[in-house]
């Protein structure tokens, strides 16, 4: 946990944003897997963690913008709780650790909200993403469950995004801890990438590394020889020599800050010429992004430059044709690179995605692009020092997408479909690093996971 002054400072910064009325913050609750007492691993809400730091279920909080007071609501453990879960710290003591002196039983939360409602005060809330918290907002404020999301407070969302987007030194240190665990996860996966090994055994081993690092994974592990499926959570295959294994995985630090790396490893440790040619284009794209990242540039422009590196590399291999700038303008690269270059990362791996991507990644100046591929970009706006972002270009050969574009002659002026046919069954390659935007450029966070083809080959072969 950070110091009480850190949490008080964050709440004071929120109070300086000019909002009136109160803001309510809902912590997460235990969530049942298959019966009420068999719960998923508890994960506190990231906004609650950011402002109130307490990593326990059954909590809520209020920030009163008019009086400047903060309140935490929750119940102290009963004897039954202590019997099953051991001694628990009283709420007052927990709250003191985050600089809050005013605490009350959970039942008082509804009374405080009801009072504010009766007085006609504005009640700000963030968009809840869990069913129980949507129902709770409905019960507190009378908003139909189906309309809770759209009634969330835009001023509060914008205030929170402006604060959480810029990471301080303590947060960066946490992310670096998550990166150190992520490094071990990836190096281990590379060393295990041998014919006859099971994908599941690698996924399980590296998930264990995340847990033994003191946190858990930052998101369900993506690990597959069918890397052309962007978020492939199926790990049921036996590793075969000559195939490519994509591993997209990261850890959470004990304070829940994320890392998110992707590496692509040739099973058995040797890239074929065809694989190596594509690999080096993706690596050039990744390195280009790192070199372009600096304050003031838009991430949309970095994404589009990276798309040009990919299109130009694919043109040199005969997979694309025509003018590279025109190809990218028309979105032709998206047959191979159908996703965005990256996203913000922090307390969430896709940081603040619960608050709405439009508010996190875009602004009045930079709006989302309505085009296949670039339309999936989660971050387009100008970069600022303290932003932590991912850099994750890829090239994939997705049969269903190739079939559609071929049949409908989509971007046929820029694609050599006959050549593309030779790459069916290739899979995909993605390379992902985490980058801190500094005052002058971008710094790769953590020790960079081995990334050149030679480094990876050496690791696998041992
Ligand atoms: N871990 C999913 C992603 O890279 O966005
Ligand atoms: Mn990833
Ligand atoms: Mn990512």
pLDDT tens across 274-321, in order? 999 999 999 999 999 999 999 999 999 999 999 999 999 999 999 999
Q: Which ligand 1 atom is the nearest neighbour of the CA of 231?
A: 2
> What's the gap in Å between 246 CA and the centre of ligand 1?
12
For a pocket test of ligand 1, which of 217, 220, 229, 262 has the largest count of ligand atoms closer than 8 A to its C-beta?
A: 262
| pLDDT tens string 193-230 | 999 999 999 999 999 999 999 999 999 999 999 999 99
Q: Residue 219 C-alpha to ligand 3 middle, in angstroms?
A: 10
Q: Give the whole-angstrom CA distance, residue 344 versus residue 353.
A: 9
Q: Mutate which of 289, 343, 431 to test ligand 1's pocket (most atoms within 8 Å of Cβ)? A: 343
Cα-Cα-Cα-Cα torsion 121, 127, 129, 133, nearest 10 degrees, comes to 0
CB 204 within 8 A of CB 231: no
Residue among 232, 432, 433, 449 to mutate when testing ligand 1 (max atoms within 8 A of CB): 432
Which ligand 1 atom lies nearest to the CA of residue 349? 1
Give the model's confidence band at 462: pLDDT under 50 very low, under 70 low, under 90 confident, else very high. confident
Is residue 159's pLDDT more than 90?
yes
Query: For residue 73, what are the CA distances in angstroms to 51, 225, 396?
Result: 14, 48, 49
Question: Of ligand 1's atoms, which has the minimum distance to the CA of residue 260?
Answer: 1
Q: Could you state, in order of their start, the residue ranges of all structural domains in the chain?
A: 4-164, 169-461
DSSP string, 224-288: ES-TTSTT-----PBP-TT-EEEEEE-BB-TT--B--EEEEEETTS---HHHHHHHHHHHHHHHH
Asked whether the beta carbons of 358 and 396 are under 8 A apart, the reply is no
* Mean pLDDT, residues 370-384 taken together: 97
Per the rule left: phi > 0, alpha: psi between -120 and 50, beta: everything else, 174 is alpha
Q: Give me the torsion for CA of 205, 207, 212, 215, rounded to 10°.
A: 170
Give dist(CA 117, CA 110) in Å, integer. 10
Residues 6 or more apart from 398 whose CB is under 8 A from it? 228, 229, 338, 428
Which residues form the pocket of ligand 1, taking CB atoms under 6 Å from any ligand atom? 219, 248, 260, 343, 349, 392, 432
CA of 177 to the centre of ligand 1 (A): 18
In three-state secondary structure terms, 421 is helix
Mean pLDDT of 376-402: 98
Instruction: Classify domain 169-461 at the CATH topology level.
Output: Creatine Amidinohydrolase (3.90.230)
Query: Would you state the pLDDT for residue 287?
Result: 98
Model confidence band, residue 48 (pLDDT cutoffs 50, 70, 90)? very high
Distance 432 CA to ligand 2 centre (A): 6
Q: Which of 178, 217, 218, 219 to mutate to test the pocket of ligand 1 (most atoms within 8 A of CB)?
A: 219
pTM over 0.85? The answer is yes
Residue 262 CA: nearest ligand 1 atom is 4
- The preferred substitution site among 390, 391, 394 for testing ligand 1, maximizing ligand atoms within 8 Å of CB, is 390
Which CATH fold topology does 4-164 show?
Creatine Amidinohydrolase; Chain A, domain 1 (3.40.350)
Write out the E strands in 127-256: 222-224, 244-249
44 Cα distance to chain centroid: 16
Query: Residues 6 or more apart from 91 whose CB is under 8 A from it?
Result: 72, 74, 75, 76, 103
Mean pLDDT along residues 335-342: 98
The residues, any chain, with a CB within 8 Å of residue 318's CB and separated by 6 or more, are 416, 419
Q: What is the mean pLDDT of the chain?
A: 98
pLDDT of residue 364: 96
* Ligand in closest contact with the CA of 220: 1
Q: In angstroms, rounded to a whole number, what is the distance separating the alpha carbons of residues 347 and 259?
A: 10
Question: What confidence category does residue 69 fall into, taking pLDDT thresholds of 50, 70 and 90?
Answer: very high
**Residue 158 C-alpha to ligand 3 middle, in angstroms?**
23
Atom of ligand 1 nearest to the CA of 218: 1
Locate the ligand 1 atom nearest the alpha carbon of residue 342 and give its number: 5
Q: Say how far apart CA 50 and CA 164 lie, in whole Å.
A: 8
pLDDT band at 428; cut points 50, 70, 90:
very high
* Sign, CA torsion 433/333/354/436: positive
CA 214 / ligand 3 centre spacing (Å): 21
How many Å lie between the centroid of ligand 3 and the Cα of residue 232?
Answer: 13
Distance CA 97, CA 2 (A): 9
Q: Which atom of ligand 1 is nearest to the CA of 219?
A: 1
Distance 340 CA to ligand 3 centre (A): 9
CA 106 to ligand 1 center in whole angstroms:
36
User: Residues 320-333: what's their mean pLDDT?
Assistant: 98
């Amino acid at each position: 946990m950070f110091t009480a002054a850190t949490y008080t400072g964050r709440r004071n910064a929120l109070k300086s944003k000019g909002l009136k009325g109160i803001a309510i913050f809902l912590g997460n609750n235990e969530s049942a897997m298959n019966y009420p007492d068999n719960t998923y691993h508890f994960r506190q809400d990231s906004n609650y963690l950011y402002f109130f730091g307490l990593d326990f279920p059954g909590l809520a909080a209020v920030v009163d913008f008019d009086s400047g007071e903060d309140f935490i609501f929750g119940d102290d453990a009963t004897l039954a709780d202590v019997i099953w879960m051991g001694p628990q710290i009283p709420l007052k003591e927990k709250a003191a650790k985050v600089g809050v002196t005013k605490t009350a039983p959970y039942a008082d939360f509804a009374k405080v909200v009801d009072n504010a409602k009766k007085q006609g005060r504005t009640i700000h809330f963030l968009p809840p993403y869990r069913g129980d918290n949507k129902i709770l907002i409905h019960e507190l404020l009378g908003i139909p469950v189906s309309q809770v999301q759209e009634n969330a407070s835009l001023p509060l969302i914008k205030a929170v995004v402006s604060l959480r987007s810029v990471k301080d030194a303590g947060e960066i240190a946490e992310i670096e801890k998550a990166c150190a665990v992520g490094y071990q996860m990836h190096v281990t996966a590379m060393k295990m990438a041998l014919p006859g090994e099971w994908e599941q055994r690698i996924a399980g081993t590296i998930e264990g590394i995340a847990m033994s690092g003191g946190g858990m994974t930052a998101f369900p592990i993506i690990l597959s020889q069918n890397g052309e499926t962007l978020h492939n959570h199926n790990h049921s295959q036996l590793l075969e020599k000559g195939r490519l294994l994509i591993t997209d995985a990261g850890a959470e630090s004990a304070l829940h800050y994320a890392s998110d790396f992707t590496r692509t490893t040739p099973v058995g440790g040797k890239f074929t010429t065809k694989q190596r040619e594509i690999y080096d284009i993706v690596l050039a794209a990744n390195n280009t992004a790192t070199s372009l990242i600096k304050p003031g540039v838009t991430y949309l422009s970095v994404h589009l430059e990276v798309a040009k590196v990919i299109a130009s590399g694919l043109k040199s291999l005969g997979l694309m044709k025509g003018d590279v700038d025109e190809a990218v303008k028309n979105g032709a690269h998206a047959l191979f690179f159908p996703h965005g270059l990256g996203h913000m990362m922090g307390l969430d791996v896709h940081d603040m995605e619960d608050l709405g991507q439009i508010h996190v990644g875009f602004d009045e100046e930079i709006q989302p692009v309505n085009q296949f591929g670039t339309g999936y970009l989660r971050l387009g706006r100008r970069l600022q020092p303290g932003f932590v972002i991912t850099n994750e270009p890829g090239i994939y050969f997705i049969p269903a997408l190739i079939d559609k574009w071929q049949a409908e002659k989509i971007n046929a002026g820029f694609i050599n479909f006959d050549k593309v046919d030779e790459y069916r069954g290739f899979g995909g390659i993605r390379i992902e690093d985490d980058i801190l935007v500094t005052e002058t450029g971008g710094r790769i966070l953590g020790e960079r996971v081995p990334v050149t083809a030679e480094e990876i080959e050496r690791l696998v072969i041992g």
